[in-house]
Amino acid sequence: GAVVSQHPSWVICKSGTSVKIECRSLDFQATTMFWYRQFPKQSLMLMATSNEGSKATYEQGVEKDKFLINHASLTLSTLTVTSAHPEDSSFYICSARDPSGRVVEETQYFGPGTRLLVL
């Protein structure tokens, strides 16, 4: 099946610094990737949709200047949390569409997640 990786798996940083999280599709090309945020014991909240070669589409309420997304290639999307603060501490998960060839049957495959702790 389709494999998605994330790096790093966890990161601790000081308040005010920036953190970059990478999401890679290992055995397929993903024109679209998604970034989610998950709080403890809560569901996934879609932050943005990342499209290769174009600007990301952010969900309402998500600050695009704070959560910078770059999708420079068909296998890599990055999320940079700029000027991180303790309230940004969370579990960040990316996903990529399975390129099955039929949009209606596409399945999202998820990375293992990155736990961010801002001190």
Partner 1 sequence: AQSVAQPEDQVNVAEGNPLTVKCTYSVSGNPYLFWYVQYPNRGLQFLLKYITGDNLVKGSYGFEAEFNKSQTSFHLKKPSALVSDSALYFCAVRARNSGGYQKVTFGTGTKLQVIP
- Neighbouring-strand partners of residue 115: 10, 91
Environment class of 93 (CB within 10 Å of its CB; exposed 0-12, middle 13-18, buried 19+): buried
- Cβ 117 to partner 1, closest distance in Å? 13
Sign of CA dihedral 108, 72, 83, 12: positive
Binding pattern to partner 1, positions 44-83, x when CB under 8 A? Answer: x-x--x-------x--------------------------
Residue 15 is given by DSSP the state T
- The minimum distance between CB 83 and partner 1, in angstroms, equals 26
Does position 111 interact with partner 1 (CB under 8 A)? The reply is: yes
Are 9 and 115 in contact by the 8 Å Cβ rule? The answer is yes
Instruction: Pick the binder of partner 1 from 77, 81, 95, 118 (CB under 8 A).
Output: 95
Give the position of tokens 């039929």.
102
Q: Residue 112 is encoded by which pair of tokens?
A: 């293992």
Kindly state whether residue 89 participates in binding partner 1, applying the rule CB under 8 A. no
Q: Which residues bind partner 1 (CB under 8 A)?
A: 1, 4, 6, 32, 34, 41-44, 46, 49, 57, 91, 93, 95, 97, 103-113, 115
